[in-house]
Structure 1
Amino acid sequence: MILLVGSISAPLLLSFDRKVQYYKNLKYIFPAIIVTAIIFWVWDIRFVEAQIWSFNQEYTIGVNLIGMPIEEWLFFIVVPYCCMFIYEVLKYYLQKYQFAHIFKSLSVLLIAVFALVSYFFRHQDYTFLTFLFSALYLSYTLIRNKFTPYITKFYFAFLVSLIPFLVVNGILTSLPVVKYNSVHILNIRIINIPIEDFSYLFLLLLMVTTIYETLKESRHY
């Protein structure tokens, strides 16, 4: 809970910055976060039931809902909120930087890598599913071909988000707050973080960003 509060404090306080004006887009950001959170909540619940990962109650406040600590539920609200704040800040301050062709080519390469990893390690459930879903959703995003104006800032935001991700997730996996079943992962770790978590973050941020930009473009409300 301390990590969640610490993570969201700065983005929350800076949401009313006059230049970025993050608060003006909250009517699109919150629905995008909730839709994405529902998908990841279901995923999380199923993984807990399958004992693919579990939570150390020593580091939570002890309030559980459907087998998961309340902090885990809040995680999928707080992290996307913070990442979208980074995304909007970069959109404002790096407006003139556009490398759509480069990042679309990178996306094709990532799809191939994600697909190959999911295939060759299909017996590790977390590895298989996170890389498979990342490959499928990134493919859908490219085929739909409406994300080109935003793809540069998405990749910038993902790279910047890796900095707090390494700190927060590094703490969560080192204590550990979250414990992974070694049978279901590759057991390749960066600062004790399973390599699968990087794909997981990529998918989470991509889903929130694409839904947000779709809602914003439609302007039905």
Structure 2
Amino acid sequence: MNYIYLLINIAVIFFPLVLSFDKKVHFFSKWKFIVPAILITGIVFLIWDLLFVKLNVWSFNPDYITGINLWGLPLEEILFFLTIPYACVFIYECLNVYFPKNGLQKYSLALSNLFLGLCIAILFFGYRYWYTVINFGFLFVVLAYVEYVNSKLRFMFRFYRAYLVALIPFYIVNGFLTAIPVVIYNNKENLSFRVGTIPFEDHFYLMSLLLMNIYLYEWFKSRAIK
């Protein structure tokens, strides 16, 4: 049972890694862009993770982890920030290659404004909870930057499509992590509203994680083209 979280990480990355050599997507040829994107984003989220452990926002069930710790976090939690982003960016690239037409293009700015408004509303009502405040505050900053400061990279219509598809494996993986539970949430630090066993905030945690990875991935690609 100590290997549950580790096995979940392996399961998440197994098929995306194997299918990275698909002749049409050629995802392996883009590793030089995805690796730095994952590492930079991972550092930010690991600092966030450490802070949340210190603040007792969440903790890890010792019955389902190996007990190997690095920088105060379980090895499996560190791997999470490698396996999940890799799988999600793989989904993003596959959708772009196999379905180049995207009907969300004309609605992406409206969607971003909707999410920015949602962030402001939730920050207003949930200012007492650490997870809620940091989660929606971070998403607001990243999303506002990508839409209104960044003027050259336009990819949000592709991002929203990938996010919607990524929610399917998200419900499976996070469902396991929160139902067993591997990750134990302190409900005094969140809105205490769950979709099944998954905290409401987790949906937007995924959005922030995926958005930062894809922005950096696209940025590194654009630099290479220049």
TM-score, normalised relative to structure 1: 0.96
Q: Which runs of 5+ in 2 are unaligned?
A: 1-5
1:185 and 1:96 mapped to 2: Cα distance? 38
1:183-194 equivalences in 2 (<5 Å): 183-194=188-199
1:81 and 1:179 mapped to 2: Cα distance? 24
Aligned 8 A contact 1:114 1:131 in 2 = yes
2:44 and 2:108 mapped to 1: Cα distance? 26
Aligned 8 A contact 1:56 1:177 in 2 = yes
1:96-175 equivalences in 2 (<5 Å): 96-143=101-148, 144-148=150-154, 150-175=155-180
Aligned 8 A contact 2:135 2:205 in 1 = yes
Matched, 1:214 2:219: yes
Give the equivalent residue in structure 2 for 1:40: 45
Moved over 3 A (4+): none
1:138 and 1:145 mapped to 2: Cα distance? 13
Q: Secondary structure at the match of 1:219?
A: helix
Deviations 1:68-93 (A, max 9, x none): 11000000000000000000000101
Which of 65, 68, 83 pairs up with 1:78? 83
Q: Secondary structure at the match of 2:152?
A: coil
Which of 17, 22, 25 pairs up with 2:22? 17
1:220/1:35 CA distance change after superposition, 3 Å: farther
Q: Could you tell me how far 1:98 is from its partner in structure 2? A: 4.6
Deviations 1:103-143 (A, max 9, x none): 11110111011121012211101011101111111011111
2:153 and 2:124 mapped to 1: Cα distance? 27
Q: Secondary structure at the match of 2:132?
A: helix
1:48-67 equivalences in 2 (<5 Å): 48-67=53-72
* Letter matched to residue 188 of structure 1: F
Q: Could you tell me how far 1:29 is from its partner in structure 2? A: 0.5
Q: Secondary structure at the match of 1:54?
A: strand
1:124 and 1:31 mapped to 2: Cα distance? 32
Give the equivalent residue in structure 1 for 2:203: 198
TM-score, normalised relative to structure 2: 0.94
Aligned 8 A contact 2:178 2:184 in 1 = yes
* Letter matched to residue 78 of structure 1: T
2:86 and 2:152 mapped to 1: Cα distance? 22
1:220/1:102 CA distance change after superposition, 3 Å: closer
Q: Could you tell me how far 1:220 is from its partner in structure 2? A: 7.3
Measured on the aligned residues, the alpha-carbon RMSD in Å equals 1.2
2:156 and 2:51 mapped to 1: Cα distance? 31
2:110 and 2:164 mapped to 1: Cα distance? 17
